[in-house]
Structures are given as structure tokens and as C-alpha cells.
């Protein structure tokens, strides 16, 4: 049994790329889905609001690990053998869309009612009001929470190791199984996650502080 080497370190560094790939895939696709969920939640049509609310409640009520199992193992039952990256990406996309949709819905509804009324006085349609008046202001309000969720998403990608996807956590498991130095290996894994997440956390806090100062 050999000890930890530069080859092991390089393997961990390479796995960071897959962690970032999965995070980006889930965040981009989840953002698109989340925007649709947000629009449904603020729709004047009651059935759309109800459907979006039920979707959010169901997804937020299911542990992400179970969602991963449903996508990865459930699809295989019906003959759809999906790669672990695709399964993890789909599960995280669904999870992200529910949370971002709810976050963004709150930011849009936090806009003062006179903003909507002023747009109506200018004969703007509902879509024009959202696109030109409400959403540009809501984006500024939503940024801190959105970046904060991205930090959580990066850490949640570690659950993809359970279905065999080789990201940072899974790479650490593979190395530890070969050299059995858990404190060193997983200490490095934790350090890499910290390096990835800490700048984003600080950025989120900075934006939130600026927002609070601006609202005083």
C-alpha cells in the first residue's frame, strides 16, 4: 500500500472540474426551470399557481438523495440507462428549479404595488411590466439569495458520489480506499470545497450588506 502522492493530488484536482461541470449544468438548467416556476407562481391563472405550488412543495419535501435514486434507478427500470452525470444533472436541475423558483417568486412579489400600478397607467401588458419594470429590480434583490443557493448546490453535488459519478467527493473515496488515509484525503477534499465555496459566500454576504445599506 503506497502513501498519498502527487498523482492522487492531481486526481483530486481533476475531479474539481467534474464538480464544477455538474454544478454549472444543474444551475443553468435549474435556473431556466426556476424562471418558469416563478412565472407560474405569480400567474393570474389559479390552476398554474396551484400546480407550481404543488411542484415546489413536493420537491422541497423530498430529500435530494431520494430524488437522485428515483432518477438514476427509476429510469433504468423502464429501460432508460442514463449515465450518472445525466442522472445527477437531472435530479439537481429539478431540485434547483423548485428552490430558485420560490426564491425568485418572493423577490418579484416583494416589489411595491405602486410599481405595478404605474405600469398599468402606462398601458403596459403584464409581460411588459415584468420584463421592463419588475424583473430588473427583482434581480438585484434576488442576487444574494441566488448566489447563496449556488454555494449550497456546489456542496450538494457530493451526493452524486452515491450513484457512482466521480466528482470531488467520489474521487476522495476512491483514493482513500487505496491508501486508507482518511484524515489527509478528506481533509484535502474539504479544503477544496472551502476554496470553491468561500469566495461565493463572501460575495453573497457583500451583496446582501450593500442591499441592506441601500434600503436604509
Helix (H) or strand (E) holding 89: helix 84-109
Rounded distance, CA 183 to CA 64, Å?
27
- Res 212 pLDDT > 80: no
pTM beyond 0.85:
yes
The domains of the chain, with CATH numbers, are 6-215 (1.10.3720.10)
Helix (H) or strand (E) holding 119: helix 113-121
Would you place residue 204 in the very low, low, confident or very high pLDDT band (cuts 50, 70, 90)? confident
Lowest mean pLDDT among 24-38, 56-70, 107-121, 169-183: 107-121
The residue with cell 477544496 is 192
Residues 21-38: what's their mean pLDDT? Answer: 97
pLDDT at 215: 54
Determine the straight-line distance between the first and last CA of the chain, rounded to whole angstroms: 61
Q: Output the CA torsion sign for 198, 202, 208, 209.
A: positive
The residue among 42, 198, 152 whose CA lies nearest residue 106 is 42
Rounded distance, CA 95 to CA 93, Å?
5
Per-residue pLDDT reduced to its tens digit, 100-147? 999 999 999 988 888 887 888 887 887 888 888 888 889 888 999 999
Q: What is the mean pLDDT of the chain?
A: 91
Per-residue pLDDT reduced to its tens digit, 150-173? 999 999 999 999 999 999 999 999
8 Å CB contact between 67 and 94: yes
Would you place residue 80 in the very low, low, confident or very high pLDDT band (cuts 50, 70, 90)? confident
- Three cell numbers at 174? 476512491
Amino acid at each position: 500500500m503506497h502513501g498519498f502522492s502527487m498523482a492522487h493530488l492531481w486526481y483530486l484536482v481533476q475531479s474539481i472540474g467534474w464538480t464544477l461541470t455538474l454544478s454549472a449544468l444543474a444551475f443553468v438548467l435549474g435556473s431556466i426551470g426556476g424562471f418558469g416556476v416563478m412565472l407560474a407562481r405569480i400567474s393570474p391563472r389559479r390552476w398554474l399557481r396551484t400546480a407550481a405550488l404543488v411542484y415546489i412543495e413536493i420537491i422541497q419535501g423530498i430529500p435530494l438523495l431520494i430524488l437522485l435514486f428515483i432518477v438514476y434507478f427509476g429510469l433504468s427500470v423502464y429501460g432508460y440507462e442514463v449515465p450518472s452525470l445525466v442522472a445527477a444533472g437531472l435530479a439537481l436541475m429539478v431540485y434547483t428549479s423548485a428552490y430558485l423558483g420560490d426564491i425568485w417568486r418572493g423577490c418579484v412579489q416583494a416589489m411595491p404595488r405602486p410599481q405595478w400600478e404605474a405600469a398599468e397607467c402606462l398601458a403596459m401588458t403584464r409581460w411588459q411590466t415584468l420584463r421592463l419594470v419588475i424583473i430588473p429590480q427583482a434581480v438585484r434583490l434576488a442576487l444574494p439569495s441566488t448566489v447563496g443557493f449556488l454555494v449550497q448546490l456546489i456542496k450538494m453535488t457530493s451526493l452524486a458520489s452515491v450513484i457512482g459519478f466521480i466528482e470531488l467527493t467520489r474521487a476522495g473515496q476512491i483514493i482513500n480506499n487505496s491508501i486508507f488515509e482518511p484524515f489527509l484525503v478528506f481533509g484535502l477534499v474539504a479544503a477544496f470545497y472551502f476554496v470553491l465555496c468561500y469566495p461565493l459566500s463572501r460575495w453573497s454576504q457583500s451583496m446582501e450588506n450593500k442591499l441592506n445599506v441601500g434600503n436604509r
